[in-house]
Amino acid sequence: METQFLVSLTLILATFALYIGIAVFNTAKKTSDFYVADRGVPPVFNGMAIGADWMSAASFIGMAGTVMLLGYDGLAYIMGWTGGYLLLTFLLAPQLRKYGRYTVPEFIGDRYKNDTARLIAAAATIIISFTYSVGQLAGSGVVIGRLLEVNTAVGTLVGVVLIAFYSALGGMKGITWTQVAQYVVLIAAYVIPVVFMALQLTNNPLPWISYGEVVSEFTTLDQELGITEYLVPFTEGSKWQFIALMFTLMAGTAGLPHVITRFFTVATMKAARWSGAWALVFIGLLYLSAPAYAAFSRFILMTQVAGSQIDNLPAWTQSWVDTGQLSVADTSGDGTLQWSELVISGDIVVMATPEIANLGIFVIGLMAAGAMAAALSTAGGLMITISAALSHDIYYRSINPKATDRKRLAVGRWSIVIATVVAGLIALNPPGAITQIVAWAFALASGTFFPALVLGVWWRRANGPGVVAGLLVGLTVTLTYIFLAKFGGITLLGIIDTGAGIFGAAAGFLTNIIVSLSTKPPSQQTVEEVTDLRYPEQLIYENGEVWVREKAE
Amino acid sequence: MKKIDKKTADAYFRTRTTLIVIYLLIGFCVSYGVVLFAEPLSSITFLNMPLHYYMGAQGAVLTFIFLLFVNAIVSDFVDRKFGLLDLDKEDEDESGKAVNK
C-alpha cells in the first residue's frame, strides 16, 4: 500500500497544483469578473464548467452504486438529473441571460420589483447552496480519508482549506477555467476504468453498447437466487415515487442557483442555448456510464464473489471489508459465501472498480484525483454562489449601497472563507447521509426557485406579492412534507421525502398565480421588461414598439 | 436603432414558443411517458435490454441531448430567417466571444 499511497498523493497534488495555478493566473480584478467571468467564456468550455459544477461527489461516487442497489428504480436519478437541463435551457437560461443580472436573487428582486422577494431569494440561495456544500465537503473528506489513509475529519479539513483558497482568490473567472480542467480529470477518471471492465467482461471497449449483454443475464441469475429482479420496475417504491423523485430532480436542477449562475457567464442568448447543449453532452457521458458500472459490478459480485469459498475470495474484497463498506460474513457456516450473505455499500462501486478489474495503481490514483475534482469543483461553485448572495444581494443591495468595488470584493472573499469553514465544521459530523442531504437541497430548489423563475420569465401578470407568497408557501410545503414523510410516517401515493419537490412546486405555482391575480397588476415597466424577454437580445421592446439594436452598441 | 414591425417580432416569439412546446412534449414522453407504461414496455427488447430499462438508462438521456442540439441549431436558423444574425457579427457569435454589454 506504500506505493499506492504515494501514487494517489502525487496525482492528487499534481491536479490540485494545476487547478490552483489556473486560479492564480486568472485572479479576478473587477467585481463583474469575480461573479460572472466577464461574459467571455466560449459555450463548449462553459458547458464543461457547468458539467464540473454539476457533477458532485454524489454523482461521481454514489450514483452507480445507487443504480446497482435499486435496479430500474435507480434510473429516476439518471433521467431526473439530465432532464433538468431541458427545462433549464428551454424555459429559463436564454431569458435570464437577456435580463442581465449577476445572481438569481437579483433577478427575482428586479423582475418582481420587490425587495422582500430578493431577500427571501437570497436566504433560500444560501440555505440550498449551503446544504449542498455540506454534502460535498463530507464526501471529499471520505475520499481524502480513504485514499490518503488519514482520518475522515483530517480529509475534510484539507478540502476546506483548498476550496476556501482558490474560490476566494479567483472568483468565477478563476473557477471557470479551473473547472474546465477539473471536468477533464474527472471524466477521464470515470470512463477509463469502465472501458477496461467492458473489455474484460464483454470483449468490447464500448461499455455503453456492450453492457446490455450483462444486463440480459440478470433475469435468469435473479430468478435462480429468488431475489428482487434488477430489471422489474417499481420494486423499491411506488410508480408515483419514481415520478415524483424524477420531477423533483428535474425542477430542482432548473432552480439551483449555482447552476443558473453559469448561464450569466455567456455572451449571448445564443451562447446560452449552446452552453446548455454542450453541458448535457459532457454530463451525459458520466450519466450514461453509471448504469454500465452498476451492471458490471453486480455481475462480478454475483458470479465471481457470491458462490465462492469463504476463504478463497478475490484479493480486492479484503481491503473493502476492512473499511466496513463490504461485509462477507458466512452466517450459514457452509464455507461458501451466499449472495444473501454479501452486504455492499453503494458508495464503493465506482471506487472499487479499478481494483476489481485489476487496473493497477495508476488508475486507482487517477480515480482518487477524479473524485476530488468532482467534490471540489461543485463545492467551489456553491461557495461563489453563497458569497454572491451575501455580498451582492444582501450587503450591497440592502445594507451598504454605496460600497466600492474593492469593499464588495473583500466582503465576497471573506464570506467564502467563512461559509467554507462553517460548512466544513458541520461536515465533520454530517446531519444525514450525503445523498439524502443532496435530495433535500433539490426539493427546496424545486419548491422555491423553479416556480418563481418560470412564472417570472413567462407570465407578465406575476407580481411582487405573488412571488413573496409563492416562495414562502413553496418553502413551507416542501419542508413540511420532508418532515412528515421522514419523521411522521405520513406519505401520499407512496411518495417519500426525496419526492417532496413535486408538492412544493405545485404549491409554489398555485400560490404565486392566485395571489398575483387577486392583487394589483405589475407596473407598466415590469410588463415591458418581461415582454422584452420574448425577443432575442438584438431586439428591444419599448412602448409597444420593437427596435433592432445597432451593431455599434 | 431601427424599428421593426411588432407583428414580425411576435411571429418570432410564436415560432420559438411552439418549437419549445414540441421539444418538451417529446422529452416528457421519453421520460415520464415510458415510466407510466413501464410494465407493458418491458416485453420489448432493445440492445439486449427490456425497453423500459433501456429508455431510463440511455434512451431518455440521448433524446435530451439530441433535443438540445436540435434546439440550438434550429434557433440559429430561426434567428437568421428573421434577419437577426448579420454575417460578420455571427462569426464572433460562433465562438461565443462577442461581448454584449
What DSSP designation does A263 have? G
For residue A275, the domain's CATH number is 1.20.1730.10
Q: At what angle do helices A464-483 and A115-148 cross, to 10 degrees?
A: 40
In this structure, the dihedral spanned by the alpha carbons of residues A320, A323, A325 and A328, taken in order and rounded to 10 degrees, is 60
Q: What is the pLDDT of residue A148?
A: 66
One-character DSSP codes across A326-342: EE---TT-SSB--GGG-
> Does B99 touch chain A if contact means CB atoms closer than 8 Å?
yes
Any residues with CB less than 8 A from the CB of A11 and at least 6 apart, and which? Answer: A362, A365, A366, A368, A369
Residue A539 per-residue DSSP state: E
* Distance, CA of A267 to CA of A41 (rounded, Å): 7
Is beta strand B45-46 parallel, antiparallel or unpaired with respect to A545-548? unpaired
Residue A171 confidence (pLDDT): 52
The radius of gyration of chain A from alpha carbons, rounded to an integer in Å, stands at 24
Q: Does B53 touch chain A (CB under 8 A)?
A: yes
Structure-block grid coordinates of residue A334? 457452509
Q: Are strands B2-4 and A545-548 parallel, antiparallel or unpaired?
A: antiparallel
Distance CA A355, CA A342 (A): 18
Q: What is the per-residue pLDDT for A552? A: 44
DSSP-derived secondary structure letter, A551: T
Q: Which residue has the cell 483530517?
A: A154
Contact flag B65-A280 (C-beta cutoff 8 Å): yes
Whole-number Å distance between alpha carbons of A458 and A51: 27
Q: Cα–Cα distance between A61 and A141 in angstroms, integer?
A: 13
Q: Write down the pLDDT at residue A308.
A: 76
Nearest CA in chain B to A72: B53
From A245's Cα to the closest Cα of chain B, the distance in A is 11
> A424: domain range?
2-306+342-433
CB atoms within 10 A of CB A224: 10
The nearest CA of chain A is from the CA of B7 a distance in Å of 9
pTM for this one?
0.87
In a domain, A541, yes or no: no
Query: Rounded to a whole number, what is the distance in Å from the CA of A340 to chain B's nearest CA?
Result: 24
Counting the structural domains of chain A, the total is 1
Q: How far apart are CA A136 and CA A167, in angstroms?
A: 15
Residue A539: beta bridge partners? Answer: A548
Determine the pLDDT at residue B61: 93
Question: Which B residues, 5 through 34, put their C-beta within 8 Å of a C-beta on chain A?
Answer: 5-6, 8-10, 12-13, 20, 23-24, 27, 31-32
Of A242, A281, A547, the CB nearest to B2: A547
Q: How many CB atoms lie within 10 A of CB A503?
A: 23
Rounded-to-integer distance, Cα A210 and Cα A110, Å = 51
Which stretches in chain A have pLDDT values below 70?
A: 1, 26-40, 146-150, 166-175, 319, 322-325, 346-347, 430-435, 550-553
Q: What angle in degrees, to the nearest 10, is found between the helix axes of A269-300 and A43-54?
A: 40
With beta carbons less than 8 A apart as the criterion, state whether A500 and A542 touch.
Answer: no
Task: Evaluate whether residue A530 is within a structural domain.
Answer: no
A67 φ, ψ (degrees, to nearest 5) = -65, -40
> pLDDT at position A170, please?
54
Judged by a CB distance cut-off of 8 A, whether residue B2 touches chain A is: yes
Return the C-alpha cell found at A42. Answer: 466560449
Q: Which residues between 163 and 222 in chain A have a beta carbon less than 8 angstroms from any beta carbon of chain B?
A: 208-209, 212-213, 215-216
Task: Tell me if A71 is assigned to some domain.
Answer: yes
- What is the model's pLDDT at position B73? 92
Task: Kindly list the residues from chain A whose CB atom is less than 8 angstroms away from the CB atom of residue B76.
Answer: 270
- Host H or E run for residue B3: strand B2-4
In this complex, which of B5, B35, B47 lies closest to A243 when CB atoms are compared? B35
**For position A58, what pLDDT does the model report?**
74
Query: Of A257, A261, A264, which Cα lies nearest the Cα of A131?
Result: A257
Could you give the CA distance from residue A452 to residue A109 in angstroms, rounded to a whole number? 11
What pairs with residue B2 in β-bridges?
Answer: A548
Residues A539, B4: C-beta atoms closer than 8 Å: yes
A235 contact B CB<8A: no
Q: How many angstroms away from the CA of A420 is the closest CA of chain B?
A: 32
Q: A114, A4, A16, A96: which is closest to A354 by C-alpha?
A: A4
Alpha-carbon distance A215 to B56, whole Å? 13
A442 in any annotated domain: no
Which residues of chain A lie closer than 8 angstroms to B80, CB-CB? none
Is residue A391 included in any domain, yes or no? yes
Task: Report chain A residues whose CB lies below 8 A from the CB of B20.
Answer: 90-91
Cβ count near A241 (within 10 Å): 22
Shortest CA distance to A120 belongs to which of A478, A350, A464, A434?
A464
Its sign, for the CA torsion A111, A116, A118, A120, is: negative
What Rg, from alpha-carbon coordinates, does chain B have?
A: 19
The closest alpha carbon to A175, from A397, A26, A284, belongs to A26
Question: Under a CB-based contact definition with an 8 Å cutoff, are residues B38 and B52 in contact?
Answer: yes
Domain membership of residue A507 (yes or no) is no
Chain segment B42-85, per-residue pLDDT in tens: 788 887 788 888 888 898 999 999 999 999 999 888 888 877 65
